[in-house]
Structure 1
Amino acid sequence: MTRAVIDLNAIEHNTALLLRAAAGAGVMAVVKANGFGHGSVEVARAALAGGASWLGVTSWAEARELRAAGIRAPILMWLYGPDDVPPDADVDLSVSSTLALEAVARAARRRGRPAVVHLKADTGLSRGGATAAEWPHLLTVAGKLQAEGSITVRGVWSHLATAEDPADPGLARQLIAFGHARAQAAAAGFDRPLVHLANSAAALQVPQARFDLVRAGIALYGVEPVPGRTFGLRPAMTWESTVILTKRVGPGAGVSYGHDHVVGRETTLALVPVGYADGVPRRVAGRAEVAVHGRRCPIVGRIAMDQVVVDAGDLPVRAGDRVVLFGPGTGGEPTVAEWARWAETIPHEILTGIGPRVRRVTRPGPAAAGRRAEPAGPPSRPGRR
């Protein structure tokens, strides 16, 4: 009754759009968190068909799922502890510290094959990455381990904090810091690594951040990453459910737990089997709307674990009717960006919060039959510096 319909043509479209915007750089499709709730394997295949040359994940479980599905494109993984180094050399690993680097090298020695790593510099986000003070030592250790054959340094990268506003001084500081990190890497002998810095917003509007790869996250799924600007991205997910019960009530009827909402006039209430266990944030009560018969209707009363109540007014609603929680917005339905505003959060949280009870249904569209083959290995460097 409740499902998320995934438009894989939209994923392909968005990937191709990002590839054009990158103007010579490649695209790494970030498919972590089950492809932002869209299905990692399906999204990965669609993104590769749209021109992506790399995939990005956070964990070995995410990487393993892609490999088990037969996807052979290069993968970068960036979150793991010293005791969680993947038992396989089939993915590239981000390294932010000498502790992690040494753990990766030990695992590589046990395997008898060098680990392929991307050295990450902290340029101002203060999350992952080596600080400016730590970076020279990380480079020195990486050089020694590469010389002994334990690792191969393939990339140098960092992550941006404020790419949504090109005029933000923090962005300029990060670009300068990344330039210093790259220069030090070159001086340490890593003169031709794969360089990547740009996220979705930077890929679209910060040319000096594009380098060899751009890492596309939220834009891949059709959410415009820059407030107030549109780039032609197409939302890929439509979240829909079904009316299972209707009732006509009069003024004074209380709705759901606590009777936070009391009906002020005669109206039709529609029961929809989706709740906070499925990813509907409780805080959207009294704010959120859904579309029924192409018209917006408010969710009223408290959000329950498994159900919400919609005030359909005088619409001729009956059990079995389709309810759209959010979609592309082309049919008048709410968008995920609107749901994020109602929930006082970001679209990322709404999309990744849709639970496993919600069935994912892919809609491949006419482009599926002609999809290009995915790259079998790391692409040649576009040469942007």
Structure 2
Amino acid sequence: MSRFPARAVVDLGAVRSNARTLGDLAPTAQVMAVVKADAYGHGLLPVARAAVRGGATWLGVAQVTEALALRAGGVTARVLAWLYAPGAPLAEAVAADVDLSVSAPWAVEEVAAAVRATGRTARVHLKVDTGLGRNGVPPEDLPAVLDALLRLEAEGAVRLVGMWSHLAFADEPGHPSMAAQAAVLHEAVADAERRGARIEVRHIAASASTLTDPALHLDLVRPGLALYGLTPVPQLGGPDRFGLVPAMTVEAELATVKRLPAGHGLSYGHHYVTDRATTVGVVPLGYSDGVPRHASGVGGAPGAPLGVGGRRLAVAGRVCMDQVMVDLGPDATERAGDRVVLFGTGADGGPTAQDWADAAGTISYEIVSRLGPRVPRVHVGADPADAPSPRIEQEVP
């Protein structure tokens, strides 16, 4: 294995703990751990196993290929895949016992074709566009789609097991649109049941509503960000307010440490100029690794925070493709190879993913999920009962 001078350390024990905490916060609902996008950058298979070990009974992914990767990795928990275009490998998904979302009228025939190809009954969740205006069947189209699904169910081709939706203002607890969207979903379920459907699970709550609105828990909650120990409602408090522990720490080794005189510019465009003789360091991660260029330190404002030797410093100057700079100060004792933390748990006062999100004008979801593939994921705290995953670059007991 080639050695890369940075890594994302993922604490699977934190994932298990967060899954248990989320289950405790929604005691009347089942928990679907959302592991799409390579588990928000944390590693699909290791995280999925840890979430199930922590009590999640479902796993949620966007793409069908993600669901198939879970099955290929030996994960047997119930899996829902919800985002696909015509021609997706639905027959493979049905054969692999994956639940499929139906989010448009054309998808009914695609699922029916998959059933004909496999000879197996497909489990489907009908997604209702209750107001987000994104994926899902609008209420006016629901009767026709329901009739088509129930005809297939009468033939034994499908089983309509769920109805669900996504909230438009989930990160604004108390927003009146959430109750309105839930009402649309409830009416859609009631209509489906009047037509003879037997719905097992209704679900609309993702992380934010799991943490803040028990009325939206229904039969199943779908936490994603919170599973990784981050809060979707930072305006209400950090992860510790909800009993969550951030699972990812991104760290690197200083590649270069050197002295520079006062008045020396750092990085492209010299947007940062040393105000005294100082020591500067090169951190070998850049925007090709997912470090946001908007986290640069320009215009006299500090960049995103960096933890160095127990101190909280900042990105100095422009973020480059493969590296960022840090002004270590005139009395620095760091040397090449010393550790720099971009973000982690924050328990020791160090920087967090939310700090980086604030610095870059984005959300913590993007900070963790955009981390590039050349950054190795090092999974720690694995349960000995779980089989090792091909995705794991290294495991540390």
* Equivalent position of 1:319 in the other structure: 336
C-alpha distance after superposition, 1:64-97 (max 9, x if no partner) = 1111111111100001112114232120100012
Q: From 106, 109, 117, give the equivalent of 1:102.
A: 109
Contact map agreement 1:268 1:312 (CA 8 A) in 2: yes
- Are positions 1:283 and 2:300 aligned together? no
* Equivalent position of 1:382 in the other structure: none
* Equivalent position of 1:228 in the other structure: 236
Contact map agreement 1:298 1:312 (CA 8 A) in 2: no
Q: From 221, 233, 246, give the equivalent of 2:257.
A: 246
- Are positions 1:64 and 2:68 aligned together? yes
- Are positions 1:308 and 2:319 aligned together? no
Distance in 2 between residues matched to 1:370 and 1:61, nearest whole Å: 26
- Are positions 1:17 and 2:18 aligned together? no
Q: From 286, 308, 313, give the equivalent of 1:297.
A: 313
Distance in 2 between residues matched to 1:36 and 1:98, nearest whole Å: 29
C-alpha distance after superposition, 1:143-171 (max 9, x if no partner) = 11111222111111111122333321111
* Equivalent position of 1:140 in the other structure: 147
Distance in 2 between residues matched to 1:39 and 1:225, nearest whole Å: 20
The code of the aligned residue for 1:181 comes to A
In structure 1, the gaps of 5 or more residues are: 372-385
1:1-385 correspondence to structure 2 within 5 Å: 1-88=5-92, 89=94, 90-226=97-233, 227-229=235-237, 230-286=241-297, 287-313=303-329, 314-364=331-381, 368-369=383-384
Contact map agreement 1:76 1:94 (CA 8 A) in 2: yes
SS in structure 2 opposite 1:355?
coil
The code of the aligned residue for 1:308 comes to V
In structure 2, the gaps of 5 or more residues are: 298-302, 387-397
Distance in 1 between residues matched to 2:29 and 2:43, nearest whole Å: 25
C-alpha distance after superposition, 1:198-246 (max 9, x if no partner) = 1111112211111111001100000012222321110000000001211
TM-score (norm 2): 0.91
TM-score (norm 1): 0.93
Percentage of identical aligned residues: 49
The code of the aligned residue for 1:297 comes to L
Contact map agreement 1:252 1:262 (CA 8 A) in 2: yes
Distance in 1 between residues matched to 2:86 and 2:63, nearest whole Å: 13
Structure number with higher relative contact order (C-alpha < 8 Å, ≥ 6 residues apart) = 1
The code of the aligned residue for 1:180 comes to E
What is the Cα deviation at residue 193 of structure 1? 2.6
Contact map agreement 1:242 1:319 (CA 8 A) in 2: yes
SS in structure 2 opposite 1:300?
coil
The code of the aligned residue for 2:315 comes to I
Contact map agreement 2:64 2:82 (CA 8 A) in 1: no
What is the Cα deviation at residue 191 of structure 1? 3.3
What is the Cα deviation at residue 370 of structure 1? 6.4
What is the Cα deviation at residue 260 of structure 1? 1.5
SS in structure 2 opposite 1:269?
strand
C-alpha distance after superposition, 1:243-280 (max 9, x if no partner) = 12111111111111121111111110011111111111
Q: CA RMSD in A?
A: 1.4
Number of residue pairs matched? 370
